[in-house]
Amino acid sequence: MLIHSAAQLLTPSAQPQRGSRMGELSIIPNGAVLIEGETIAAVGESADLLRRYPNEERYDASGHAVLPGFVDPHTHLVWASDRAAEFEMRLEGKTYMEIMTAGGGIQSTVNATRSASTAELIAQTARRAQDIFALGTTTAEAKSGYGLEWTSELKQMEVLLELDRQGPLEIQPTFLAAHAIPSGFGDRPDAYVQQICAQMLPELKNWWERHASKRPLPFVDVFCEKGAFSLEQTRLIFTTAQELGFPLKVHADEFENIGGARLAIEMGAVSADHLVKTSPEEVRLFGSSSTAAVALPLTPFGLNELEYTPAKAIIAANGLLALASDLNPGTAWCGNMQFVIALACRAMHLTPAQAITAATINAAAAIQREEQLGSIHPGKQADLLVLRVDDYRHLAYRFGGNLVKDIFKKGRLYQNPC
Ligand code: NIG
Ligand code: FE
């Protein structure tokens, strides 16, 4: 398949971008992409590629901008039911953490997710997967974390692997048993941490080797926050996970800074996410670290808070900045990466080009997939978006809708209804 005559073909660098290079989109006007099977085979000017490949099936992209598929490196895609009543409580003045410590919040989704059958959970999650795919997310990281005991955590991992197998959305699973202290362990959180370290992580490793040995091990994530897991508990879980070979991620500095981002950098985590309360000194540490800094602007927006991740400072410090949705039933039931981009440009002052870079190649790096995903280069997986518009800046300029016309996933064309 030869996609040709694209008004703008965005080819941000094949490697993650930092500092002043961040946002170099290398736009080819009248651009073309040759796809062979699941892979990008050639990229260039239409006149050239049309001449060199005269017999290919053609896709006319004239009047449309073409860019890499979005990678969403932080979602909680799999859950049952909803928390609409809590949203109303928050509007009336209760805070997210108050509701959580009173037994609602994450625990309420845990109760619903534990009771849901695998088939129900697949059905509810598949709908969300289809929705975000239609909005241009071609790959998403997705976390467990609404089981908080082995069988229900495993059920979520199985749902994620099954939906990845069904496609077209590609899913990179993360194990987040350390999402909240489950009810029953309220007065002895260390016993739960012990259960994660001594039982769940070794079981997960065994299970993976028996059932998913062709895939890399999932990430292990911890919600490091006052009211969830302390710094010391996070360190313990990380140390155990790392010894077993799991790559690490962390929820850090969402509401209070208890040192999670610094620990993630120190331990070589793949990413540290949220980073609303991260200090200037910690921001500087990202500059000399391979740990990606993942901003989730839908979360403060969803919580009606005014403070956002210091994304500009992270870029200025040479950090590897990525954007994600945080799609979840508590703080942000929205997986629209187009809206993430639009909000990032307003609330965190990114340029549209920086936001797109953070949602593609840098987001791929935040899930260790930058070799295959996130840019339009020969050898990479053919995951591309064709916009309804001819200028990529409309992704930031407009908001709340869907500017994605067609999606190529692993070289296969999926069309959105007009
Ligand atoms: O990233 N902060 C912890 N986890 C989610 C919220 C999950 C929930 O409320 O269900 C987050 O914001
Ligand atoms: Fe999250």
> Buried (b) or exposed (e) across 199-227, using 16+ Cβ within 10 A?
ebbeebbeebeeebeeeebbbbbbbbbeb
Q: What is the pLDDT of residue 12?
A: 84
List, for residues 347-397, the tens digit of each pLDDT value: 999 999 999 999 999 999 999 999 999 999 999 999 999 999 999 999 999
Expressed in angstroms and rounded, the spacing between residue 299 Cα and the centre of ligand 2 is 9
Written as one string, the DSSP assignment of 145-190 is -S--SHHHHHHHHHHHHHHHHH-SSEEEEEEEEETSPPTT-TT-HH
Phi, psi of 83 (to 5 degrees): -130, 45
Q: What is the pLDDT of residue 101?
A: 87
The percent of residues above 70 in pLDDT, for the chain, comes to: 100
Residue 109 has pLDDT above 90, yes or no: yes
Pocket test for ligand 1, best of 94, 222, 223 (most atoms within 8 A of CB): 223
Q: Of the candidates 295, 393, 404, 400, which has an alpha carbon nearest to the alpha carbon of residue 353?
A: 393
Report which protein residue has its CA nearest ligand 1's atom 8. Answer: 330
Q: What is the pLDDT of residue 194?
A: 98
CA distance 107 to 117: 18
Expressed in angstroms and rounded, the spacing between residue 65 Cα and the centre of ligand 2 is 31
Q: For 230-253, what is the mean pLDDT?
A: 98
Report pTM. Answer: 0.98
Domains of the chain: 2-68+374-415 (2.30.40.10), 70-365 (3.20.20.140)
Ion ligand 2 — residues with CB < 5 Å: 326
Does ligand 1 come within 6 angstroms of the Cβ of 108? Answer: no
Q: What is the pLDDT of residue 190?
A: 98
List, for residues 289-346, the tens digit of each pLDDT value: 999 999 999 999 999 999 999 999 999 999 999 999 999 999 999 999 999 999 999 9
Does ligand 1 come within 6 angstroms of the Cβ of 76? Answer: yes
CB 408 within 8 A of CB 382: yes
Average per-residue pLDDT in the chain? 97
Expressed in angstroms and rounded, the spacing between residue 330 Cα and the centre of ligand 1 is 6
Expressed in angstroms and rounded, the spacing between residue 251 Cα and the centre of ligand 1 is 9
CA distances in angstroms from 291 to 194, 211, 298, listed in the order given: 26, 29, 21
Ligand 1 atom nearest to 105, measured from its CA: 9
Q: What is the pLDDT of residue 418?
A: 83
